[in-house]
Chain A
Amino acid sequence: MTQYVTEKDVRDMAAYARVGLDERELVQMTEDLNSIIDTLQPIRQFNLEGVEPTFHPIGSLSNVMREDEEQPSFTQDEALANAPKQQDGSFLIPAILGGGDA
């Protein structure tokens, strides 16, 4: 099968997307991605010059909007229910700059 993306490409993408892959998963993911891209190859036989990409799966849909009316929100407890740590009604998160060494 043609190699469209290398293991290095996949490792970079995973790092970008903050997805943790071990070596076995990396090999598998590279194989899967190449297979997916290969499946999509036939589309290249069409001349798509000047054709607007299909941005949305439901082609005819547009101008979807709602009125500016308030809906119930989570309570503070509900909002924080999944937070590993919380303090004073806020999500408590680790130091952003890694231990304070700017």
Chain B
Amino acid sequence: MRKLEDVLQDWEAVIGLEIHAELTTLTTKMFCGCKLEFGAAPNTHTCPVCLGLPGALPVPNKAAIESIVLAGLATNCDIEKHSMFYRKNYMYPDMAKNFQTTQGPIAFCMRGHLDLQVDGPGAKERIDLGNLKPGESGAPGTTAANVTRTEDGYVAHVGITRIHMEEDAGKMVHIGGDEGRIAGATHSLVDYNRAGTPLIELVTEPDLRTPEEARLFMQKLRQIYLAIGISDCSMEEGSLRCDGNVSLRRRGSKEFGTKTELKNMNSFKNLHDGLAYEICRQAEVLEEGGTIYQETRHWDPSAKRTIVMRVKETADDYRLFPEPDLAPYDLTDEFIEGVRAKLPELPDQKAKRFEETWGLIPYDARHLVEHRATAGFFEQAMGVAGKDAKKLAKPLANLVLNDISARMNADASFDLLDCPLTPERAIELVRLLADDAISSKQGREVLAAVFDEDKDPVAIVDERGMKQVSDTGAIEAVVDAVIAAHPDEVARYKEGNAKLIGFFVGQCMKEMRGQGNPKMINQLLAKKLAE
């Protein structure tokens, strides 16, 4: 199979996502007062409504309706005042009442969008930006019409078709087959605790063009849902789930190809890798003259391939009709404005504020707000930085995005907001670095010591005698001595062997027992050797 980068030269991938989020921060289910709880003993949170017993009547959870309106407002959707619930009929044991309550043609939230900032290596998956200059957008009608070039990548404008309200199904365990698979199972066990869990489904327009864009969309949506507090968005526990629709068309072609639906992409990496594999697989089939069938495929991360789950021969007939047991909605302005008042600062707004308040570059600001912990920590530290906050913002951002993020990635239980590195200590460390009192290498040593010994950075520097010599006079004396002691190297350097600068820096550092400021040594050496 060809590589993604090669395939995307010849083919344009058209990707749409369907993202389900369980409203896990609520207390009760969508249509009954049963408690929401992950991991409880089976069938301990059920009642006549969520078991589908005859005559049981559902009553919608007001907080769930508020949550979906909040999600719509946070993703630039129009809030539809008039909408209603529908029954989506299907016979499957995970839903005892034989239909899922969902919404029809009109959902609570319609016609939204998100803008994705794409940069780094992932931006290279997009190959149709041609000669666009920063600030320029693709011409209307071209494949890059929804894209604006930036200094270090591009912004993709991605449409959201709708977000509708529905309910989750129960959980099934299949017994007797291989690895719990349904095929070969002799019987199954059903637990209805999850049945009736409030679920919102967001459907994007087919505006995504690369696996990286799909990954970033999911990541951004997760940040927004976490910021507005409607779900814990755990991809492992399945409270945030993503299906992808993907088809290919030849570069330049306007017609859509046949799409496949991809399931089981339960992490950001799986979402990217599953889509990347499927794009390459489809390209191979098409290039060999084969046909893509409209089918549902399952991403197997360990085998790194997608396998067919089922072929859709005809569109499923769910006999969707208005749910007669639930009254329609005519949301009032008062209700919608009441929800709008609860809208917190969103990640994009926070990043903008970080840029404006402390002069951060957009890249740093955007990555700081990716996690609530890093954003909160940065803000607290800036709060104690006093009047040189602006000066310390960049080195603090570097500390958080490089060293601290690495620690967070390596250890899932690490809690930045409750660890030996307090915001005060972070500022103390950053100030030592900004003042050139210690080198960046020493900075990493001090940081490690703060975590290991739970002491202040200044105390650690004093104890270890780490203070970096940044006194120009002292450094100049050493630089002069080193130059005088190595006339041969000086001659070779002047003949064009520029690499020798490293040798001189090394000699100076040796003289100063590693405590000389390397930046100053470098500058002084370059100046003196040019004389």
Contacts and interface: CB of A to CB of B under 8 A. Distances in A.
A70 B46 contact: no
A96 to B, nearest CB: 6
A94 interface: yes
Interface stretch (B2-10, B32-40, B374-382, B428-436): B32-40
B492 to A, nearest CB: 74
B335 to A, nearest CB: 8
Contact of B91 (A18, A57, A69): A18
Nearest to A65: B62
A93 to B, nearest CB: 5
A71 B187 contact: no
Given A73-B34, A97-B183, A64 B327 contact: yes
Nearest to B65: A65
Contact of A76 (B44, B187, B328): B44
B344 interface: no
Interface stretch (A20-28, A43-51, A83-91): A83-91
A50 B191 CA distance: 45
B509 interface: no
B517 to A, nearest CB: 59
B315 interface: no
Given A71-B33, A90-B173, A97 B327 contact: no
A64 B185 contact: no
B324 A71 contact: no
Contacts of B60: 64-66
Interface in B173-217: 173-174, 176-177, 182-192
B45 interface: yes
Contacts of B59: 64-66
Contact of B331 (A57, A58, A63): A63
Interface string B94-111: 000010000000000000
B318 to A, nearest CB: 11
Contacts of A91: 43, 93, 189-192
Contacts of A55: 84, 322, 324, 328
Given A91-B189, A96-B182, A73 B46 contact: yes
B32 A71 contact: yes
Given A68-B28, A96-B188, A62 B328 contact: yes
B43 A80 contact: yes
B45 A68 contact: no
Contacts of B63: 67-68
A71 B196 CA distance: 14
Contacts of B177: 100
B64 interface: yes
Contacts of B187: 92-95
A100 B184 contact: yes
B133 to A, nearest CB: 51
Contacts of A57: 324
A102 interface: yes
A18 B319 CA distance: 14
Given A76-B41, A102-B184, A62 B329 contact: yes
Given A68-B61, A68-B63, A79 B43 contact: yes
B42 A76 contact: yes
B497 interface: no
Contact of A61 (B34, B51, B190, B327): B327
B296 to A, nearest CB: 14
B200 to A, nearest CB: 15
B190 A96 contact: no
B190 to A, nearest CB: 4
B221 interface: no
B189 A63 contact: no
Contacts of B328: 55-56, 62
B27 interface: yes
A12 B86 CA distance: 23
B185 A96 contact: yes
A102 B310 CA distance: 11
Contacts of B482: none
Interface in A4-61: 16, 18, 53, 55-58, 61
Interface string B49-74: 00100000001111111000000000
Interface string B405-416: 000000000000
A61 B60 CA distance: 14
Contacts of B188: 92-96
B152 interface: no
Contacts of B61: 65-66, 68
A95 to B, nearest CB: 6
A2 interface: no
A95 B186 contact: yes
A10 to B, nearest CB: 15
Contacts of B176: 95, 100
Nearest to B25: A68
A56 B183 contact: no
Given A68-B63, A88-B189, A94-B187, A63 B327 contact: yes
Interface of B: 26-28, 32-35, 41-47, 51, 59-65, 84, 91-93, 98, 173-174, 176-177, 182-192, 317, 319, 322, 324, 326-332, 335
Please provide the 5 A-B residue pairs with the shortest distance between their CB atoms, ordered closest to farther: A71-B33, A102-B183, A90-B189, A68-B63, A65-B62
Interface of A: 16, 18, 53, 55-58, 61-76, 79-80, 87-97, 100, 102
Given A65-B59, A91-B43, 13 more contacts: A55-B322, A62-B330, A67-B62, A70-B27, A71-B47, A73-B45, A80-B43, A90-B43, A90-B189, A91-B93, A96-B92, A96-B182, A102-B184
